[in-house]
Amino acid sequence: MTVGIAFGVALAFLVLPFLIVYSLRGVRQRSLEREELWFRDNSLEAFRVRHPETIKSGRFTCPHCGGEKLFVRTFARDVDLLEHVCNLCGKALYVSRAS
């Protein structure tokens, strides 16, 4: 009986790390997929589809206030994402990846 318990405990310590790593890998993969979907929904292409009236004859206008100037800032703490914001009303319009 004691040998069976010792074998079970040893097996648990051998298998448990693999199960944890495998499950965390799945969580990270789902997180990356959600991040990519969010980026696609907030990209310039998606913005153009939602607001086709904002770009006319090569000029861009804010759909909220009609402002024509944008400024770019880093998005939160992520240095790879840039947020494009209307200079007049301060609304974030879309995000892009830093090259």
Q: Which of 26-30, 43-47, 95-99 has the lowest mean pLDDT?
A: 26-30
Q: What is the pLDDT of residue 26?
A: 62
Give the pLDDT score at 80: 81
Distance CA 51, CA 49 (A): 6
Task: Supply the pLDDT for residue 1.
Answer: 54
Tell me how far apart the terminal alpha carbons of the chain are, to the nearest angstrom: 63
CA distance 9 to 2: 11
**Percent of residues, the chain, with pLDDT higher than 90:** 20
Q: Sorting pLDDT into bands at 50, 70 and 90, what band is 14?
A: confident
Q: Which of 32-36, 55-59, 68-72 has the highest mean pLDDT?
A: 68-72
Q: Which domain holds residue 78?
A: 2-97
pLDDT band at 36 (very low <50, low <70, confident <90, very high): confident
Look at the chain and report how many structural domains it folds into: 1
How distant, in Å, are the alpha carbons of 33, 45, 87, 93 from that of 61?
A: 31, 15, 11, 11
Identify the pLDDT of residue 13: 72
